[in-house]
Amino acid sequence: MRIYFKVISILLVCLTCAGKLLAQEGILKGLVYDQSTGEPVPYASLVLNGDKYTSSTLSTSHGDFIFSKIPKGTFVLQISIIGYEHLLDTIQIDLPTSHLSRKFALKRTAQFLEVVQVRGEVLRDLQETRTAVVSVSPKELSRMPSIGGQPDFAQYLQVLPGIVSTGDQGGQLYVRGGTPIQNMLLLDGMLVVNPFHSIGLFAVFDADILNTADVYTGGFGAEFGGRISSVMNVQTRDGNKKNIAGKIDINTFGAKILLEGPIYKLKDNRKSALTYILSAKGSFLEKSAPIFYPYANSLPYQYLDLYGKIAFSNLNGSKLQIFGFKFDDKVNYSDIAVYQWQNWGAGTKFVIVPGSVATTIEGSVSYSRYNTALQENVENYLPRSNSMDVYSAGMTFNYFAGKSTFNAGFDLLGYTTKYALGSTETIDYAFDPAVFAKYKYNLHNKLLIEPSFRLQMYLSQRVASPEPRLAVKYNITPKIRLKAAGGLYSQNYVSIESDRDVVNLFSGFLSSVEGSQLPGKFDGKELNSTIQKAQHAILGLELDLIKYTTINIEGFFKNFSVLTSANRYKMFNDDSEHASTPEILKKEYIWEKGYAYGGDLSAKFEYKNLYVWLSYSLGWVKRVDPMVTYSPHFDRRHNINLLCSYAFGKRASWQVDLRWNFGSGFPFTRTTAYFPYMSFSQNINYDYVHANEDVDFILDDLNTGRLPNYHRLDISIKKKFYFAKRQTIEVSLSATNVYNRQNLFYVNRVSNEIIYQLPILYNVGLSWRF
């Protein structure tokens, strides 16, 4: 741990010295917030204009901002963002001691202002590399068809380029060739082990508490680590600082309640506020399905999600948050299995904005526990269970020098995992600390260079992984922007899955795999650790050549150079006892490698109350194990998503949303033949003459077949009724799989019974916002 104290000490000394150097130049820092609620406004455009000085920046996801290196003089500050009125203010800088701290309240507007759109969105595109990242806001979520009564983060992820969902039931998300275990979701800085429910339509957190969400499909910077495919960084709101507010919703899928408000109210003469936000949502689909959907085969899903937060915030941008959650999920396939999991946790997050230097400090501490269990209704299948304790802490120092920034910090992440198969239990521990640094150089909003470096350590393996990364953007013109990103990535975290599962719901987790559980060599080489590794390369182009339209084109390549996987070739528990057995059959796990490559195209059109989003993904995924090269079951060649939203009527009180998804067929392993056999599973007196034969099957080569194409249309219609200044009632009618497409879920190989994905499901909902 001494190395961490040394690194922190060096960072503090450097930041202090930098602050003294900047003492001869003006600094303007502050907070942009919503006038009606007191909530921070993220990613607002701020432009500071003077006679011989012009600078621009964006508010952070916490609403704070910093201008540094300001000369003496009088300036005009312009603040703009879609959905709010312009704000102008005069700023006076008197050197050498001008360190100003200001707060700016923005007033909401229902008008569409073209100039706001240009300044608010294009400025972010010009000043951030934004390669392989999509930012999701509550406004964009509201344009999704409200399947289940309310739009949801999990549903929106499925329309993003590069993300493949395996279906409506038990669906998992695969990001540009990466598996769910290789994706990381952070909720207010805390790792959420399983962020999506079994039904595949809902995330564990309420979309109404969302503040910002950044989805990195590859090429992410050194501030994130411990995963080799993607990162989803979700931040929630603090709660209304001025009034008690909330939302109550009930529909044929489930219900939810949201309550927020001030404990210590924000007023004009106060510089701080203490707020709370509470959310509870759940599904009673297993109970309501026989009433509303008697034609559906089975909808055995239940979940309950609880989230709460208390936040103390200062109008200079500093804040302290304390939060906790409890998520429960259960699915009961009576003929197959009963599967359930629970996840609970608590943590704290803080932001410090010192008054005299162009620096901010962020940090978090958290703990969570995850439990899951599967009981299969299959003879000779043992029950499986898994628990995981996750504890983490981290701190980041942000230093602002004009348009350039420097970030440095550390992460401390530890796991304790327990996996049980029947009466056999495996316990594992891991501690994965890391230090990182990132510098963004901005040359006149023309060239952005963002090198970063992460030193990821895996103490249980006694291995350190140096991981350089780089992102670059060249703004050929303000409307044509070329970008690229890449780097090295690693992770220690592994999952335990069985390829024999009829429905692959259960994923056991281990913090690491011991070297003795793997073959001694991989690709003819001996490896000194079991760390999984990947390399990313992404090239993209942004185009704003058509009015109100943004086009993004990206090509990607991910090389998964070292992977570990459950050994599908190990058939018997006593293989290791036979000296003549090949090594591939002796081990619990095997080495693999693989790659994913392809391209994505997305186009967004937004004008007044019309919003259209179109994305197309073309991709190839391959895996290579010691026996065969194959396409994994999530290798989808083509994926198309179309999302349309239109609001109309007085005060845009009517809204129609539509989403259509098409995906080419997934790989699967064909059954080539069936044959009868006698199991002789009884005793020596087994009456094989009169006994019925069992049926077994012979499989073709792994995943050489293709399932039928998948496509589905979802639609919703919503009507708002305004009763008071802050009260509305919304009635919604929605349907998923409108034309009742029979999308394949799975086939029982023995009985040839076909089970399909969700049929047409209508939903009627009523919500009251106050």
What confidence tens digit (pLDDT) does each residue in 455-469 have?
Answer: 999 998 889 999 999
Read off the tokens for 226. Answer: 């411990």
Give residue 117's pLDDT: 44
In the block, which residue shows the tokens 């959905």? 83
Q: When comparing pLDDT for 652 and 109, which is higher?
A: 652
CA atoms in the 13 A half-sphere facing the CB of 580: 0
User: In which band, very low, low, confident or very high, does the pLDDT at 115 lie, cut at 50, 70 and 90?
Assistant: very low
* 7 within 8 A of 434, measured Cβ to Cβ: no
User: In which band, very low, low, confident or very high, does the pLDDT at 679 lie, cut at 50, 70 and 90?
Assistant: low
* Pairing state between β 319-333 and 54-58: unpaired
Q: Please tell me the distance from the alpha carbon of residue 324 to that of residue 78, in angstroms, as a whole number.
A: 38
Angle at 83 (CA atoms; ends 80, 88), nearest 5 degrees? 30
Q: Please tell me the distance from the alpha carbon of residue 553 to that of residue 481, in angstroms, as a whole number.
A: 11
- Left if phi > 0, otherwise alpha if psi is -120 to 50, otherwise beta: which for 363? beta
The percent of residues above 90 in pLDDT, for the chain, comes to 49
User: In which band, very low, low, confident or very high, does the pLDDT at 403 lie, cut at 50, 70 and 90?
Assistant: confident
What mean pLDDT is predicted for residues 246-271? 90
Q: Please tell me the distance from the alpha carbon of residue 586 to that of residue 520, in angstroms, as a whole number.
A: 11
71-75, 422-426, 571-575: least confident range: 571-575
* 136 within 8 A of 158, measured Cβ to Cβ: no
* Pairing state between β 230-236 and 183-187: parallel
Q: Please tell me the distance from the alpha carbon of residue 283 to that of residue 202, in angstroms, as a whole number.
A: 10
Give residue 566's pLDDT: 79
Read off the tokens for 404. Answer: 């350039």
Q: When comparing pLDDT for 403 and 476, which is higher?
A: 476
Give me the torsion for CA of 562, 420, 230, 56, rounded to 10°: -130
User: In which band, very low, low, confident or very high, does the pLDDT at 103 lie, cut at 50, 70 and 90?
Assistant: confident
Its sign, for the CA torsion 661, 667, 669, 672, is positive
What mean pLDDT is predicted for residues 293-319? 89
Task: Return the closest-CA partner of residue 327 out of 192, 417, 237, 158.
Answer: 192
What confidence tens digit (pLDDT) does each residue in 513-570 have?
Answer: 777 778 877 877 887 778 999 999 999 999 999 999 999 999 999 999 999 887 877 7
Give residue 261's pLDDT: 95
* 185 within 8 A of 227, measured Cβ to Cβ: no
Q: When comparing pLDDT for 751 and 81, which is higher?
A: 81
Residue type, 125: D
Q: Which residues pair with 89 in a beta bridge?
A: 77
Give residue 4's pLDDT: 46
What confidence tens digit (pLDDT) does each residue in 724-751 have?
Answer: 778 999 999 999 999 999 998 777 777 7
Q: When comparing pLDDT for 468 and 378, which is higher?
A: 468
Q: Work out the number of other CB atoms within 10 angstroms of the CB of residue 19.
A: 18
User: In which band, very low, low, confident or very high, does the pLDDT at 658 lie, cut at 50, 70 and 90?
Assistant: very high
* Residue 267 in this model has a pLDDT that exceeds 70: yes
Query: Using the 8-state DSSP alphabet, how is residue 485 labeled?
Result: E
Q: When comparing pLDDT for 586 and 24, which is higher?
A: 586
Give residue 211's pLDDT: 92
Give residue 285's pLDDT: 85
Give residue 228's pLDDT: 96
What mean pLDDT is predicted for residues 641-666? 94
User: In which band, very low, low, confident or very high, does the pLDDT at 766 lie, cut at 50, 70 and 90?
Assistant: very high
Helix segments in 204-363, DSSP class H? 285-292
Give residue 578's pLDDT: 57
What mean pLDDT is predicted for residues 478-492? 96
Q: When comparing pLDDT for 768 and 698, which is higher?
A: 768
Supply φ then ψ for residue 527, to 5 degrees.
Answer: -105, 140
Read off the tokens for 284. Answer: 């009673």
Q: When comparing pLDDT for 682 and 444, which is higher?
A: 444
* Residue 157 in this model has a pLDDT that exceeds 50: yes
DSSP 627-685: S-EE--TT--SEEEEEEEEEEESGGG-EEEEEEEEEEPPPEEPPEEEEEEE----S-TT
Give residue 600's pLDDT: 96
* Residue 255 in this model has a pLDDT that exceeds 60: yes
Q: Please tell me the distance from the alpha carbon of residue 492 to that of residue 531, in angstroms, as a whole number.
A: 5
User: In which band, very low, low, confident or very high, does the pLDDT at 500 lie, cut at 50, 70 and 90?
Assistant: very low
Write down the pTM of the prediction: 0.90
Q: Which residues contact 290 (CB under 8 A, 6 or more apart)?
A: none
Give me the torsion for CA of 196, 198, 204, 207, rounded to 10°: 80
The percent of residues above 70 in pLDDT, for the chain, comes to 89
44-58, 394-408, 620-634: least confident range: 44-58
Give residue 38's pLDDT: 87
What mean pLDDT is predicted for residues 72-83? 87
* 350 within 8 A of 319, measured Cβ to Cβ: yes
Q: Work out the number of other CB atoms within 10 angstroms of the CB of residue 166.
A: 21
What mean pLDDT is predicted for residues 89-111? 80
Task: Return the closest-CA partner of residue 317 out of 23, 62, 22, 605.
Answer: 62
Q: Please tell me the distance from the alpha carbon of residue 173 to that of residue 157, in angstroms, as a whole number.
A: 9
